[in-house]
Structure 1
Amino acid sequence: MTSTQQEEFWSGDFGRQYTDRNSRHLAEWNAFYEATWGRTKLAMNADFVGDLPRDARILEVGCNTGMQLKGLQDAGFQQLYGVELQAYAVEKAKEYSQHVNLIQGSGFDLPFKDAFFDVVCTNGVLIHIAPADLPRIMAEMVRCSRRYIWGFEYYAPATTAVNYRGNEGFLWKADYAQLFLDQFPGQLRLVKQELYPYVTDAERGNRDVMYLLEKTA
């Protein structure tokens, strides 16, 4: 499968720099979330998947250095998998988590059988997928999930392009839960959604969203 422009961008030096800027150990990661959104990521996660059995099989698409997976591991989840495009990030992930199944690969071609996972999730990944390519990665996520799709992404009521560090065509805000519902009518239902305004950017009104979708067919 031919790489997209965004995949090539993130596989190179820009992606490596992003990984270096955004890699944190668990305590620092939680402090960053609390300062930015007023809640730790562990607390956000607990609100959405805290009641799931700890042997639930979870895949994160675009796991970078595995901080979210480490947080889920700290919460007691045992069967954790991550797919990451960037080889450098996969190697760095070994510094932040152990006993997590990490694979270098693309979200457009997940190397797992249908319905292999109880949960398939993203954290700040769909925002970097060109809108025209979203149906492909969403289809792979839905294919691999037995039950839930879970996400944490930038939010806007309508898909909006954002200049990212001087680069155009590499970042978008959108209502990603609704895009999933539109793409798979009658196959998904929205279980829960919550908007998180930025404590550090309150005057501009920027918000992120966490959502949980369940397969119905």
Structure 2
Amino acid sequence: MLAHTQPLRNLRNRVAPLSDLAHSVTVKLFTEIRPAHDALLASNLGKKTSTNLGAIHVTGFASRWTERTSSCIGGATQGEAPANLRHHSGLPYYLSLFVGGNCDERSAQKRKRALTYNTPQENFWAGEFGDTYVDRNDGGKLLASKISMFSKILARTHDVKSVRELGANIGLNMLAFKNLLPAATLQAIEINEIALARLSSIEGVDARLGSLLDDHQMAPVDMAFIAGVLIHINPDALETAYQRLWESSKRYIVMAEYYNPSPTSITYRGHEGRLFKRDFAGEMMDKYPSLKLVDYGFVYHRDPVFPGDDLTWFVMEK
């Protein structure tokens, strides 16, 4: 591949904002790069190119490397690659082009997973199964049902100005809260990179990549909630999940999960050990006796107006 400097010089001129692109931009580099080209990228001209685009990040140099692609991942700022790429030490050469907002997050599937978690359930949702779940967890009808459920939940609370979701996926719950509490501060933690790309495109949501079991060193909010996620947590890690919920909240803790009076495991889309039902709220209140039940309800899949996923929700207050 031969590099010509004139096209690079042209990049000094104004270019269209990358956020206007409807699809992710994939950068493909092939076979062998000569040292002269490396020097060009490291030169002042190469740096100006990166500054103009506000999106090109080059780390490491080598004469041979494998074609890599990537898509937009939330949280990247000019001059800084997202954490999942900054810590990706396995690649001798990496050039990634990130675009914000309306990107085709599917190209992220072509990257190696840079994060490895402690439980098989976390890796399950961070990996390919979690990628495909993104398509199933979408749709206007589903959002309407979520708005209906959270309107009932919020009716049992007072003065909620900040909300954090643990395990937000693409952000449908965040969209519901934006409708119901338009002035509230919204935060979300999500383990799957492709889901995070969608989640990060929601204006006003502070979205972070990682497991809800990790300590994200965030100040507590008025309401911390989790919906349809505890059912997929390794039972041995539930104590940690309850602790993270407790630490995240100044006042209210909300759960919306599959209820069962005793712990049970259910085959989930052909997978064993990936779906569990139990009395999550009861266990949480046993662990933290000062946590009091405010209200609870059920979302039935045959509701004629706002059908749900047979979730039982609980509002608890410190």
Correspondence for 2:300: 197
Q: Any idea what SS the aligned residue of 1:6 has?
A: helix
Query: 1:142 Cα shift?
Result: 0.1
CA distance in 2, matches of 1:139, 1:172: 19
CA distance in 1, matches of 2:189, 2:252: 17
How many residues in Structure 1 have an aligned counterpart in Structure 2? 196
Specify whether residues 29 and 172 from structure 1 end up closer, same or farther in structure 2 by C-alpha distance, changes over 3 A only. Answer: same
TM-score, reference length from structure 1: 0.83
CA distance in 1, matches of 2:292, 2:212: 22
Q: Of the candidates 153, 162, 185, which is equivalent to residue 57 of structure 1?
A: 162
Correspondence for 2:226: 122
Q: Of the candidates 243, 257, 272, which is equivalent to residue 168 of structure 1?
A: 272
CA distance in 1, matches of 2:191, 2:301: 28
Query: 1:151 Cα shift?
Result: 1.3
CA distance in 1, matches of 2:227, 2:137: 13
Q: Any idea what SS the aligned residue of 1:170 has?
A: coil
Stretches of structure 2 that go unaligned for 5 or more consecutive residues are 1-115, 304-308
What is the aligned-residue identity percentage? 30
Structure of higher RCO (CA pairs closer than 8 Å, 6+ residues apart): 1
**1:81 touches 1:100 (CA, 8 Å); kept in 2?**
yes
Q: Superposed, which structure 2 residues align to 1:27-106 within 5 Å?
A: 27-30=140-143, 40-50=145-155, 51-53=157-159, 56-77=161-182, 78-95=184-201, 97-106=202-211
**2:146 touches 2:172 (CA, 8 Å); kept in 1?**
no
Correspondence for 2:109: none
Stretches of structure 1 that go unaligned for 5 or more consecutive residues are 32-39, 201-205
Query: 1:197 Cα shift?
Result: 3.2
Q: Which whole-Å deviations, capped at 9, do the CAs of 1:95-115 have from their partners, x for residues lacking one?
A: 5x222111111111231345x
Q: Which amino acid aligns with 2:187?
A: Y
CA distance in 2, matches of 1:156, 1:136: 20
Correspondence for 1:182: 286
CA RMSD of aligned residues (A): 2.0
Correspondence for 1:5: 120
Q: Which whole-Å deviations, capped at 9, do the CAs of 1:174-193 have from their partners, x for residues lacking one?
A: 12110111222x22111111
CA distance in 2, matches of 1:79, 1:110: 20
CA distance in 2, matches of 1:213, 1:155: 16
CA distance in 2, matches of 1:174, 1:136: 16
Structure with the bigger percentage of strand: 1
Correspondence for 2:129: 14
CA distance in 1, matches of 2:300, 2:170: 25
CA distance in 2, matches of 1:106, 1:213: 23
Structure with the bigger percentage of helix: 1
Pick the structure with greater CA Rg. 2
CA distance in 1, matches of 2:137, 2:281: 25
CA distance in 1, matches of 2:117, 2:299: 35
**1:112 touches 1:144 (CA, 8 Å); kept in 2?**
no
